[in-house]
Amino acid sequence: MMTLHLIPVGEVAHPPESSDNQYITLAQMKKILAYFLYGLISLITLPPIGLLYALSPVTAWFLRIVLKYRKQIISENLKKSFPDKSGEDLLLIEKSYYAWLGRMLIESFKAVHWSVYALKKRVNVINPEILTEYAEQNQDIIILAGHTGNWEWSPGAISPYGHDVLGIYKPQTSETFDHLSKLLRTKSGVIPIPMKGTIRALKEKKENGQKPRALLLIADQIPALGDIHFWTNFLNQQTAWFTGGEKLALRFKLPVLYLKFREVKTGHYSGEFIPLYDGKEKVRDGDISRFYIHALEQTIIENPTHWLWSHRRWKHQPESISL
């Protein structure tokens, strides 16, 4: 016979104690959901990438016509960045941008099945000797890149040439998607590091046989209000910048390279490393950042389709912020 246990008024019911924890916490549930989504993405992207590319026009159409994904932001960003271009030219860039975005999403998800060496086959590095020379010296380096080409494939231009990639990322508000982004990016030779853990990662002593580290910073994101200390003209607009890469280079005396990463044809990219700082010479405050910004701007002007125009890059303006 079942015994009914009554709880006196005013007392709180507690789950029965057990040697085994039978309850799943909210944090655990979010992790399980992240693994489920990761498994789903892995399953969907099992077909050969050539077959998956057949979906990219549909993806682009859905983003542009159905969702109208950040369409106003894209249009405004293009218009302000290229004031001399006609409305027809800007519309052509916008359409091409959505097509590129559709391909890039497919490529980024497909990469969960590929090692950095598989990515290397799709990325032609023009001057790999720069990396191999630093690797032979066991020299840590900083690589500054932008949201050009497919930045998710950029470790394929770095890790196979002798460095472990420290992929710095900004943690997301959603714990589920934050954990998912780490699952998607973690590979042998690639170590995702949250922004706040950057200095700790650089200070860690390398163990015997451990590769030198390449700190990869996709440094063209909009800084948080409290992190804005540097402004310069970029694509015809006053633009706020992170200067963390420059500060880390000067503090730890690390060479800085710019990775010019661009699409040469569908599914294939080229990477070129442009030296910005040798880790030794004296430079004026802000120079490393200016060298990087100029190099990135030239990359975008050469091929305006392949940059992240849907990003709210100019959300902050100097007149509305007291420095």
- Condensed to tens digits (0 to 9), the pLDDT of residues 146-155 reads 999 999 999 9
**117, 160 Cβ separation under 8 angstroms:** yes
Distance between start and end Cα atoms, the chain? 74
**116, 189 Cβ separation under 8 angstroms:** yes
Q: What is the mean pLDDT of residues 263-286?
A: 95
Residue 128 tokens read as: 């790999």
How many angstroms separate the CA atoms of 78 and 90, rounded? Answer: 7
Report the 10 Å Cβ neighbour count for 155: 25
**295, 274 Cβ separation under 8 angstroms:** yes
- Type of residue found at 259: L
DSSP 64: I
**311, 166 Cβ separation under 8 angstroms:** no
List phi, psi (to 5°) of 142. -115, 130
**pLDDT-based confidence at 20, cuts 50/70/90?**
low
Give the pLDDT confidence of 28-76 residue by residue, as tens digits: 898 999 999 999 999 999 999 999 999 999 999 999 999 999 999 999 9
* Least confident interval from 117-126, 166-175, 226-235, 258-267: 166-175
How many angstroms separate the CA atoms of 155 and 158, rounded? Answer: 5
pLDDT of residue 205: 76
- Type of residue found at 163: H
Q: What is the mean pLDDT of residues 185-201?
A: 87
**pTM value?**
0.87
Q: Which residues pair with 237 in a beta bridge?
A: 234
